[in-house]
Amino acid sequence: MQNGFDRLLEAADEVRAEIVPEPSAHISQHLPEIAEYLTRVSGIGIDEEHAEKLLSSDAELVDDILDWGGIDDIEFSMRLLDMIAQVFLHREWPAEDEGINPDEFLFDLRTAAVQSGYSLTPTLDVKPAFRFEY
């Protein structure tokens, strides 16, 4: 027979199961959405193979994406932007209070990507954005 505390714990587990996504089995199932997101935001042609290569620089981010079950969280979006900026420019994505021109930053990012063998998307429908805290 369950007491009130056991029923409360059981109810909490049921709620948590509804809120917290199931962990993913492998990062490969998230590569299409990661590649699309990074391409749209940066204007750099990033396919799934490129996304996997870029993610190899941040094992903690990969683990967190797998634990969460995807990138549908603002924290992961910003961490992906930080990752790509680190890979190409050795810095985080800029914050508004840094006084960096976002157009110039994006130009530098795209130039570094081209120098690393990446292509650019034919049309860049991106408004450069600043980093925000998550």
- Note the pLDDT tens digit of each residue in 67-115: 877 777 778 888 899 999 999 999 998 887 888 888 889 899 999 999 9
Contact 129, 45 (CB under 8 A): no
Q: How many whole angstroms separate alpha carbon 84 and alpha carbon 131?
A: 13
pLDDT in tens, 29-61: 889 999 998 998 888 999 999 999 999 988 898
The answer to whether 47 and 32 are in contact (CB under 8 A) is no
- C-alpha–C-alpha distance, residues 92 and 87, integer Å: 9
Predicted TM-score (pTM) of this structure: 0.72
Task: Give the span between the Cα atoms of 102 and 126, in whole angstroms.
Answer: 11
